[in-house]
Amino acid sequence: MLRRGPPPLRTLRFLQAARQGLRRSRPRRSRPEMKTAAAPVHEIFCSRQGEGLYCGRRQVFLRFAGCNLNCSYCDEPAARSLPSFMMTTAEAAAEVVKQARRGRARIVSLTGGEPLLHWRFIKELAPLLKKAGLALHLETNGTLYRELGEVAGLMTAVAMDIKVPSSGGHRPFWSAHRRFLAVAPRKTFIKAVLTSSFAMREFRLAVGLAAAACPGIPFFIQPATRKKNSRPPAARPLREAEAIARARLSRVKVLPQQHPLWGIK
């Protein structure tokens, strides 16, 4: 048999070039694009907390736009409607961290509107803020229990409203509040805003919900801030409401909003 010699050098170069061309012509697999959440943010600012368990503490407030309720005593009606701009989680985190460093705050209050409408955004934002050493507090109307379940483990504290229908001029949310309390994290406290039109029987129901969840849960009775659409209750019904709450709960306080009295936002 005749042995074939090695192919000519020109042929080898041709084959090598062809192989390289094939390698170049193969389409590269594109990496999947990372989707970044965005949400309507009404404002970000640093101030002192004027309500509830952490009253007086310096916090950065990240206020979301949009709300699923329309309470007559709402102190931020401008935040109910959605603005024309959106912020990504990276943009919001950068601004929050900047405000926290400038104001020497260690807590971020997610407020609104209703923050839980934007739970996906919060889920993506939380690790960025925790990486910066910031604790997260959630202020919520206490009706979106499914959404709370998605982010409850990310929160250091939850400030939950129990809505007294006669105070806010809306339908009852007793069932939603009950389910919310069932998934609420341990560091949750309750706020019930009372106007001059509140019904005592409804307030009893609110206290009953809180007591059924945990008799030791901090419970704040907040007389409504006086303005065009709302007035605080008179002294006598307010004292009666406090007595009803103290009969079933061990940590009850009457605490009006303080930041209007301090002249700050």
Token representation of residue 100:
């926290």
Number of neighbours of residue 30 by Cβ within 10 angstroms: 6
Say yes or no to pLDDT of 34 above 60.
no
pTM of the predicted protein model = 0.85
Q: What was the pLDDT predicted at 265?
A: 87
Q: What was the pLDDT predicted at 106?
A: 98
Q: What was the pLDDT predicted at 256?
A: 97
Q: Cβ contacts of residue 186 below 8 Å, gap of 6+? A: none
Say yes or no to pLDDT of 9 above 50.
no
pLDDT band with cut points at 50, 70 and 90 for residue 84: low
Mean pLDDT of the chain: 89
* Whether the Cβ atoms of residue 182 and residue 175 lie closer than 8 Å to each other: no
What gap in Å lies between CA 48 and CA 56, rounded to an integer? Answer: 5
Out of 32-41, 87-96, 215-224, least confident range: 32-41
Per the rule left: phi > 0, alpha: psi between -120 and 50, beta: everything else, 168 is alpha
Superfamily per CATH, domain 36-262: Aldolase class I (3.20.20.70)
Number of neighbours of residue 13 by Cβ within 10 angstroms: 10
Say yes or no to pLDDT of 25 above 50.
no
The length of the chain, given as a count of residues: 265
Residue 17 or 210, more confident: 210
7, 17, 25, 77 from 14: Cα distances, Å:
11, 5, 16, 75
Sign of the dihedral defined by the CA atoms of residues 130, 113, 167, 73, in that order: positive
Q: What was the pLDDT predicted at 35?
A: 61
Alpha helix (H) ranges present in the chain?
9-25, 89-103, 119-131, 145-151, 165-168, 174-183, 200-213, 235-248, 259-262
Say yes or no to pLDDT of 23 above 90.
no
* Mean pLDDT value across residues 31-50: 83
Say yes or no to pLDDT of 228 above 70.
yes
What gap in Å lies between CA 66 and CA 114, rounded to an integer? Answer: 6
Distance separating the N- and C-terminal Cα atoms of the chain: 98
